[in-house]
Chains A and B, each alone.
Chain A
């Protein structure tokens, strides 16, 4: 179960996507999240599909791995598709079940929504799969820097994010470990009636919370011991470098936007 969650994992590899500046990746993903909503016909959706699959191919992250990461959201997608299938009343009736009619428009919309969700999840997971948490934080801090003038705590926000990202895999490992320890004492997590299963999570959650709090405390102490005082006057060991490929990435996002605007109906 835990092995299917791929958000927050980083897969080291040497690919164009891995080498890109985190800022360009962040901007690109942000733009992508917005323009996904521009697509509204087969042509524009195919365009998005080609773009997403192309990016995944360049990133050298195995497709089988990405597909596995999509598994947990499969039910959510299915649910939205079914909802659209029955709720949309456009176009000719394809199927009359008596108590409900399925219209062509509903089918098309359902399929589109499914693709939209898959593209979104795929591209956002590609961001974390190809960028180390530190890079994401640096990039974000850099991009949000103008907000400092509005007294928005950019540095703290970025730090919080990187710590959360950093600890997702640790938390999963911990979860697995405690699940095993409690299973050895006869706890059942994956079978039995639903009330029992909910109750079975208490022996998992309490140790998990305790260790998470303890870890947070330790981390805070370690940071303080090393003289951490927030972002004021802090310099960076690794500077972000904007290269040709990053400009090219943004350029191709621009092309994608124009193409979508032209092809959408």
Chain B
């Protein structure tokens, strides 16, 4: 399912003294099956933008297109249900949304709301719980006796169980331990490959953006500041510095090497790739 916005602006608390403009004429197009990362300084409007994509927020002006559905400021809520089902949203700290007695019931909440039978919902609960790395024994436990990281996984399973076509993730790994972060990111990448789900990831980690995304959207002060492939974005170090962002350490490392020895090296976004590059230099014996 393709998502796009056309000149979307959003005002919070419109018509009050606390009125605040969070988006300015944002136009963006996210094709089906792609992996987009949205990065930007805190308060730049990332969360606001993604909440438009499944109709949780309505644009103050402009339009949002989700598949066949158009969302405008005057749109009735009824037609948004289908969009909500197809565009799954994992919020920042999703563990705060857990409420059921058992984990199974909590995961079933989404599918049941969207009309799945109890049997099917339960089956999905089992499946998705396994996907996020928890075993079946958890199904009958209370979500409130889990650790923070486990709760996060359950909450994510609750969204995956709805079988969305698009998965929007708002800083899904914030506050997880490093190995948990990596597992989560790998899970999203796998989901995209196996189920052809579109992934939209909001993140503060330049490393994750560089490693997983096809396209990066950089936001600043409520507008799109840059957009392009990771390689294109992270080449423009100065432009990123201007809005307080940095390039991944791997790229910085390669740049420093190039400068130090005055040579040209292949691109590397991740530590593994850097290792490859360095190894190849050593092997070939071109060390200056």
Contacts and interface: CB of A to CB of B under 8 A. Distances in A.
Interface in B70-112: 77-78, 81, 84-85, 88-89, 91, 94, 96-99, 109-110, 112
Contacts of B15: 64-65, 68
B17 A210 contact: no
A178 B96 contact: yes
A181 B91 contact: yes
A203 interface: yes
B159 interface: yes
Interface residues of B, number: 30
Interface in B220-241: none
Interface stretch (A113-121, A146-154, A184-192, A244-252): A184-192
Contacts, number: 69
Interface string A5-29: 0000001010000000000000000
A181 B97 CA distance: 7
Interface residues of A, number: 27
A204 to B, nearest CB: 8
Interface in B113-127: 113-114
B200 to A, nearest CB: 13
A188 B85 CA distance: 13
A3 B17 CA distance: 12
A62 interface: yes
A207 B99 CA distance: 6
A183 B56 CA distance: 8
Given A68-B16, A177-B91, A185 B144 contact: no
Interface string A198-229: 00001100110011000000000000000000
A61 B159 contact: no
Interface string A35-56: 0000000000000000000000
B145 to A, nearest CB: 13
Nearest to A64: B15
A210 B88 CA distance: 24
Given A180-B91, A207-B98, A185 B13 contact: no
B48 to A, nearest CB: 12
Nearest to A185: B110
A170 interface: no
Contact of B77 (A64, A191, A207): A191
A211 B151 CA distance: 14
Q: Among B91, B97, B109, B110, which residue has the most Cβ atoms of chain A within 10 A?
A: B97
A170 to B, nearest CB: 13
B51 interface: yes
Contacts of B51: 180
Interface in B39-83: 51, 54, 56, 77-78, 81
Interface in B13-28: 13, 15-18
B144 A184 contact: no
Contacts of A68: 15-16
A210 B16 contact: no
Contacts of A187: 109, 113
A133 to B, nearest CB: 16
A164 interface: no
Given A68-B16, A191-B77, A207-B96, A184 B159 contact: yes
- Looking at A3, A180, A181, A188, the one whose CB has the most chain B CB atoms below 10 A away is A181
A211 B97 CA distance: 10
Contacts of B172: none
A185 B56 contact: no
* Most A-side CB within 10 Å, residue of B88, B99, B112: B99
B248 interface: no
A80 interface: no
B213 interface: no
Contacts of B113: 185-188
A181 B94 contact: yes
Most B C-beta atoms less than 10 A away, residue of A13, A62, A178, A186: A186
B217 interface: no
B56 A180 contact: yes
Contact of B16 (A3, A181, A186, A191): A3
21 contacts: A13-B17, A64-B15, A65-B17, A68-B15, A177-B96, A178-B97, A181-B89, A181-B94, A183-B84, A184-B84, A184-B159, A185-B109, A185-B110, A185-B113, A186-B81, A186-B162, A191-B77, A191-B78, A203-B97, A207-B97, A210-B144
A-B pairs, top 9 by smallest CB distance, nearest first, are A186-B113, A206-B99, A185-B110, A181-B97, A184-B89, A186-B114, A203-B99, A181-B91, A180-B56
